[in-house]
């Protein structure tokens, strides 16, 4: 395949380039800011099979619009999207196949399924989420941490408003899931979901040792989505884990 990588100069972009090359794909770097003579998404020419986006909210919005206009599938792992980017991705998915995920790791997607099961089985237990990332990560808490909290909340029939981020004071309100973020060093990503009862505690933890795991998942998603019908897909669809 010929893959356009939006945000190719970032840490994830570097890993994506390596994985794409190792699988025999050609890649073209795209800078959403069109800085330093690098092609912008609007100026992208030539046959492109899939666009992989790990950039910014503005970069994702531009990529989604371009994919819709040119009939090219999109794989995006950008988090902290603003309303315009969310709308652009949803609109694009009505015309082209889109895989959108907060995390492309197979282990994290299994963890999401385990969290849903545990939240349903242990209905009386409190739930907290904690994540650790490198000190240069721009968003806090991570999109993955929020996705884990939403998975637990959804399993209990709660809505997204149950999530409380930051350091709480006083008692934890009922039907609230706390999400805490730690930053330091070059931690690739650690997420723990705590289910805390009166007499025991269960911890479900995922640790990423190398960004390559996310890049491999994203390229796998790009290979999977190529040739699919229009729609908004998740990494669980790619892994065949929907319904887990």
Q: Domain coordinates of the chain in residue numbers?
A: 2-104+211-239, 106-207
**2-104+211-239: CATH topology:** Rossmann fold (3.40.50)
Specify the CATH number of the domain 106-207: 3.30.360.10
**Considering 14, 137, 164, 226, which one is annotated as catalytic?**
137
Catalytic-labelled residue, pool 68, 100, 133, 188: 133
pTM metric for this prediction: 0.85
In this predicted structure, what is the pLDDT of residue 38? 46
Helices (H), the chain: 11-22, 57-70, 83-92, 106-121, 143-155, 212-225, 235-239
Alpha-carbon distance of 218 to 149, in angstroms, equals 22
Closest to 48 (Cα-Cα) out of 77, 20, 86, 13: 20
pLDDT band at 35 (very low <50, low <70, confident <90, very high): very low
pLDDT of residue 244: 57
Would 2-104+211-239 and 106-207 be classified into the same CATH topology? Answer: no
137 is catalytic: yes
Active site residue 226: no
Q: Is the pLDDT of residue 147 over 70?
A: yes
pLDDT digits (tens, 9 = 90+) for 151-207: 999 999 998 778 888 776 678 888 999 999 999 999 999 999 999 999 999 999 999
């Amino acid at each position: 395949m010929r893959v356009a990588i939006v945000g190719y100069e970032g840490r994830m972009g570097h890993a994506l380039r390596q994985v794409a090359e190792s699988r025999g794909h050609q890649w073209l770097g795209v800078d959403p800011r069109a800085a330093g003579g690098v092609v912008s998404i609007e100026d992208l020419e030539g046959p492109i099979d899939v666009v992989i986006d790990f950039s910014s909210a503005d970069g994702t919005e531009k990529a989604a619009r371009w994919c819709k206009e040119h009939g090219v599938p999109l794989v995006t792992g950008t988090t902290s999207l603003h309303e315009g980017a969310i709308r652009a991705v949803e609109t694009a998915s009505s015309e082209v196949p889109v895989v959108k995920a907060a995390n492309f790791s197979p282990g994290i997607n299994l963890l999401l399924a385990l969290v849903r099961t545990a939240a349903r089985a242990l209905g009386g237990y409190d739930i907290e989420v904690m994540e650790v990332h490198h000190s240069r990560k721009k968003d806090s808490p991570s999109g993955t941490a929020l996705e884990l909290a939403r998975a637990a909340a959804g399993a209990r029939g709660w809505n997204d408003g149950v999530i409380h981020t930051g350091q709480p004071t006083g008692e934890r309100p009922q039907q609230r899931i706390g999400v805490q973020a730690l930053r330091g060093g070059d931690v690739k990503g650690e997420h723990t979901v705590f289910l805390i009862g009166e007499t025991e505690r269960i911890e479900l933890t995922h640790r990423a040792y190398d960004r390559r795991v996310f890049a491999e998942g994203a390229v796998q998603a790009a290979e999977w989505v190529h040739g699919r019908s229009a729609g908004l897909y998740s990494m669980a669809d790619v892994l065949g884990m929907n319904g887990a």
